Copies of this chain bind each other. A is one copy, B any other.
Amino acid sequence: MADGKAALKKIEDLGNGIVIEIKTGKNPKFVTLARTRSNIVFDKKNGYLRLGTAKEERNFINVAQSRKFMQTVAIAAKCHKFLEENLHTTIRGLFYQLKFSLGEDVDESIFSEQAESNPLIEDIEVAIDVKREELNLNANRKGVLAGNLKVEDTFGDERQVIDASKMGRSGWAIPSDVDNDIRFVDVKAKYVIVVEKDALWQRLNEDKFWKKENCILITPQGQAARGTRRLIRKLADQGLPVYVFTDSDAWGWYIYWTIKTGSINLAYIGEDVATPEAKFLGVTMADLDKYDFLNKLTIKASDVDLKRAQEMLQYEWIKKHKEWVTELERMIKSKIKLEQDALQGPKLTFVDDYIRDKIKNSDYLP
């Protein structure tokens, strides 16, 4: 597992640094960037959420910090072991390993809840600039892809090439880690379309939309998991435009913003998971003027939708983008919303025409 070597080296450097501090009689310390709200900034120039520069230091010889210091070191040691073994687990599996034993000859348990180990994993990710996936920790995965894309997955001792145009009705299940021992072999598609709902993805996949339009069709199956966000970022890095297609409601907008700008929780890896170039394809309130039949198929906006629209109107970024202001104000005024499923009303394949028209006419929101 060649890719893991860089992470292995970084953990070893971290450990060696501590050893040197001990040997030279210094108070061993661990330094990371603060992941507090106050240190999360919206990077206006690049358009995503990231950490600021505030640091957090943890010292071994400090009554309030020594336990956390030890725990952090124990986690780093376990991840080092996973990398050496070339085996993956999850943060839950890591927790049970920590609970079982801290190491070869330490039988003391200093972890009682997973809530203790989780933030420390993030500390390490930030401190040595690795993602947990590089530490052989799988995150939850969700999301499916179809299209003219081949992926080479080096999996144990085998190299398997997965052709996302030959996955039938199922599609390729997007893994947790799309960086290590996995690479794009062949990206022939012209753009990426991210469809909120699996139901619509299946509709479009059945029509072979991705084949007819030569695009890559992704569904995050709701809110996008880390792996799916990272994959979208990587496809954008290949020069492919990314269009996001969701419901016109609070949840749909949230899915879009998370893909585009990242999220508070993942601000510490913002650059790697955000795709600021992404555009919002629809559905929009403005579609009600373009497609008359949709007026028959609106549903009542919920309080959550209306509240969220109000909140978004306060965002500096939104204020600068008139199309969004108009969208949000229209929902607040009319108190209705629109689902992407409604596009199936007149005929099941209408959703294909809709996307095609939108892209042809560059009819999307920033």
Contacts and interface: CB of A to CB of B under 8 A. Distances in A.
Pick the most buried of A96, A172, A293: most chain B CB atoms within 10 A of its CB.
A96
A125 B117 CA distance: 49
A123 to B, nearest CB: 22
A87 B160 contact: no
B202 A138 contact: yes
A190 interface: no
A90 B341 contact: yes
Interface string A330-366: 0000000001011011101100000000000000000
Contacts of A109: 296
A354 to B, nearest CB: 13
Given A88-B202, A162-B168, 12 more contacts: A85-B348, A87-B348, A89-B203, A97-B344, A100-B293, A100-B345, A109-B296, A138-B199, A144-B173, A155-B168, A160-B168, A162-B166
A323 to B, nearest CB: 26
A198 interface: yes
B172 A170 contact: yes
A344 B170 contact: no
Contact of A173 (B99, B140, B170, B177): B170
Contacts of A89: 199, 203, 344, 348
B166 A170 contact: no
Interface residues of A, number: 55
A162 B153 contact: no
15 contacts: A85-B348, A89-B203, A92-B339, A93-B199, A96-B297, A99-B296, A101-B345, A138-B202, A144-B173, A155-B206, A162-B168, A168-B182, A169-B175, A169-B177, A169-B182
Contacts of A339: 92, 96
A176 interface: yes
A140 B341 contact: no
B297 A99 contact: yes
Contacts of A99: 296-297, 345
Contacts of A171: 173
Contact of A93 (B173, B203, B296): B203
B342 A198 contact: no
A88 B202 CA distance: 8
A155 B175 contact: no
A239 interface: no
A147 to B, nearest CB: 14
Contacts of A348: 82, 85, 87-89, 93, 97
B100 A297 contact: yes
A167 B100 CA distance: 33
Given A96-B342, A96-B345, A341-B90, A167 B160 contact: yes
Interface string A54-80: 000000000000000000000000000
A174 B153 CA distance: 20
Interface string A109-123: 100000000000000
A162 B170 contact: yes
A208 interface: yes
A156 interface: yes
Nearest to A112: B299
A308 interface: no
A176 B202 contact: yes
Interface in A121-168: 138, 140-141, 144, 151, 153, 155-156, 160, 162, 166-168
